[in-house]
Amino acid sequence: MLALEPLNGWAISQRLKQVSGDVLQVSDGSLYPALHKLEQQGWIAAEWKASEHNRRAKFYSLTRSGRRQLDREAAHWRRLANAISHVVRLNQA
């Protein structure tokens, strides 16, 4: 999501619910520690900007190294997902 545009925490949580069709239930509380961890690891960067509600809010955006890391993780995930789906299909067969 951050790959598309910088978002603040609230927007991320809303977007997450929309995108996953409420399948992924990320609690409002656990989102922030995760974001902070990513920020501290340098994968995402944060800046303070005016929000859509005209309030100051912290917007996160993907850094360059973060994007690369995302690509790696995504590729890794796709491989894993592929593998799992193969296994599942095997089981069904």
Partner 1 sequence: MGLERWLRVLRLRARSLFRRREVDRELDDELAYHVERLIDAQVARGLSPAEARRASLAAMDGLELRKEECRDARGTRLVEDLVRDVRDGWRQARRSAGFVLVVTAVLALAIGGNTAVFSVAHVVLAPLPIPNADRVVMVWTEDPARGWHQFPASMPDMQDWRAGGVFSSLGAFKEGGFNVRRVDRTDRIEGLSVTAGLLEALAVPPTRGRLFTADETTAGNAVLISDRLWQDLFGHDPGVVGQQIVVDGSSSTIVGVLPAGFPRFGHEDMYMPLRASRADTNRGDRSLNVVGRLREDVSFAAAERRMTEVSRDLANRYPHEDGRSTATLQPVQKALVQDADGLLALVGGAVACALVIACANVASLLIARGRARRRELAIRTALGGGRWRLMRQLLTEYLLLAVIAGAVALIPAWWGVRAFTASHLDELPNANLARLDLTALAFNFAAALVTGVLCGAVPAWLACRGDAYDALRSTPTVDSGRLHQRLRSFFVVGQIALTVMFLVAGGLMGRSLLHVLSESPGYNPHGVLTMRLALSDMQYSSPERQLAFFERVVERARELPGVIDASAAQELPTGDDLHGSGLLFPGQPEPRLEDVPLVLNTSVLPDYFHTMQMPLIRGRLMTSLDAADAPPVALIDEWTAARYWPGRSAIGQRLQLGRTQPSREIVGVVGDVEAPVLVRFLKGRVGQVYLPLGQAPAARLSLVIRGVGDVASLAAPMREIVRGVDPDQPVFNVQTLVAVRSAGQRTLRLVTELLNGFAIAALVLAAIGLYGTIAYDVAQRTREFGLRMSLGAQPWAVMALVLRQGSALLAIGGCLGIVAALLATRMLASVLYGVPATDPVAFAGALGLLAAGGLLASYVPARRATRVDPILALRCD
Residue numbers of the site for partner 1 (CB under 8 A)? Answer: 8-10, 13, 27-30, 32-33, 36-37, 39-43, 45, 48, 51, 53, 55-58, 63-65, 68
Query: Tokens at residue 91, please?
Result: 């089981």
Residue 16 beta carbon to partner 1: minimum distance, rounded to whole angstroms: 13
Choice between 4 and 37, CB closer to partner 1: 37
Residue 78 beta carbon to partner 1: minimum distance, rounded to whole angstroms: 21
Residue 43 beta carbon to partner 1: minimum distance, rounded to whole angstroms: 8
CA distances, 78 to each of 21, 27, 36, 74, 82 (Å): 20, 25, 25, 6, 6
CA distances, 48 to each of 23, 59, 60, 67, 92 (Å): 30, 6, 9, 21, 51
Choice between 20 and 42, CB closer to partner 1: 42
